[in-house]
Amino acid sequence: MTTSLVKGQKVDLTKASADSGNTLKKLSVALGWSEKPTQTSGFDYDLDASAFGLSSGKVFSQKHFVFFNNLASPEGAITHTGDNLTGAGEGDDETIVVDLDKVPDGIDKIVFAVTIYDAENRKQNFGQVENAFIRAYDDNSTELVKYELDMEAALETVVVFGELVKRDGSWIFSANSAGFPGGFAGLCKQYGVDV
């Protein structure tokens, strides 16, 4: 059964999966969005999902920053399924799969962010996007949580959608919609990624 989240709410996904009769082994984190019909920037809205495997707030290694140019962490714990260049169509636009059994012991948090590609040149921001969401489902395709973002007035070009935190053997999902100043480079710098 899906739990619809509000900003800042946390859910123990390990427990939620067990309550559905499953053992949480893999978690798919899917993100979706669409361009507002009134927007006419002249360019497609190319939003890019990324994941940062963190240890004490910094990336575990440069290869644990997973995005369209690095589709998998070295041990296969975090895998990006591919880049959607337009966000066209219904449902999920990009998905990141986390194989929980392969996550290195040193990683205590995985942060999921979305960046608008070439936003400054295209004059695009999250206020021009609608129906943005993040959802997580287990390897039986049981949706565990969904969080719909309200970015109506947002001028940011980078947003942290959610976080997956390892705590006492459980994986806790935290809903977020924090815009990040400084764009993509600022986000990478925050987590210790070389750009």
pLDDT in tens, 59-95: 999 999 999 999 999 999 999 997 665 555 566 888 9
Q: Which fold has domain 3-190?
A: Lipoxygenase-1 (2.60.60)
What pTM, to 2 d.p., does this model score?
0.89
Q: Where are the domains of the chain?
A: 3-190
Residues 147-167: pLDDT tens digits? Answer: 887 765 478 888 888 899 999
Q: How far apart are CA 145 and CA 150, in angstroms?
A: 16
- Report the pLDDT value the prediction gives residue 51, as an integer from 0 to 100: 97
User: Rounded to whole angstroms, how far apart are CA atoms 5 and 87?
Assistant: 23
Determine the pLDDT at residue 83.
64
What would the pLDDT profile of 121-148 be if each residue is shown by its tens digit? Answer: 888 888 888 888 889 998 888 888 898 8
Exposure of 1 in the CB half-sphere (CA atoms within 13 A): 2
* Sign of the dihedral defined by the CA atoms of residues 127, 128, 130, 136, in that order: negative
Supply the pLDDT for residue 41: 61
